[in-house]
Amino acid sequence: MKTTVKRFGFLMALVVLMGVLKSCKNDEPSVIKIFVRSASNELVQGAKVIIIGDVDSNPATIAYVDTIITNGSGFAYFNVQPHFDLGSKDYTVGYFDVIAKLDNKVTTGYIRSRVHTTAVETVYLPN
């Protein structure tokens, strides 16, 4: 009888431990959101936004380039999780140059992204 109780207690402890370990895994995607605003602070739809991994950053960022057009809410949504998946398990931070274009107007910015988080930056187009 004592052996059965010990086994049951051990199995219950194992189940609880597995549940805790499973819940600690972060499944949130790695996202960069770039808002583009006009010089008069209005959100801009239809701007081309390019992010480029800064390979000269410290720590170095893996080479990466992506282009998205801003949506009706004036932001470009980049899923950079595949970028982080290319690196080792210790690769958790990336630095990106940002270029936004609309017609003949161009602006730049810079953003830091961490794995499993959403990084947000706003850039302003000139007059």
The parent domain of residue 63 ranges over 28-124
The Cα–Cα gap between 26 and 84 comes to 13
16: in domain: no
Q: How many domains are there within the chain?
A: 1
Residue 41 located in a structural domain: yes
For residues 17-21, give the mean pLDDT.
Answer: 61
Q: Is residue 34 part of a domain?
A: yes
pTM metric for this prediction: 0.77
**Residue 7 pLDDT level (bands cut at 50, 70, 90):** confident
Residue 6 lies in a domain: no
Alpha carbons 2 and 21: distance in angstroms, whole number: 28
Spatial CB neighbours of 73, under 8 Å, sequence gap ≥ 6: 43, 45
Q: How far apart are CA 116 and CA 40, in angstroms?
A: 33
CATH of residue 103's domain is 2.60.40.1120
Return the percentage of the chain with pLDDT > 70, whole number: 85
Residue 19 has pLDDT above 70, yes or no: no
| pLDDT, tens only, 92-105 | 999 999 999 999 99
Q: Is position 91 within any domain?
A: yes
Q: How far apart are CA 74 and CA 83, in angstroms?
A: 24
Angstrom distance (rounded) from CA 100 to CA 106? 6
Residue 44 in any domain: the answer is: yes
* Tens-digit pLDDT profile for residues 48-85: 999 999 999 998 999 999 999 999 999 999 999 999 99
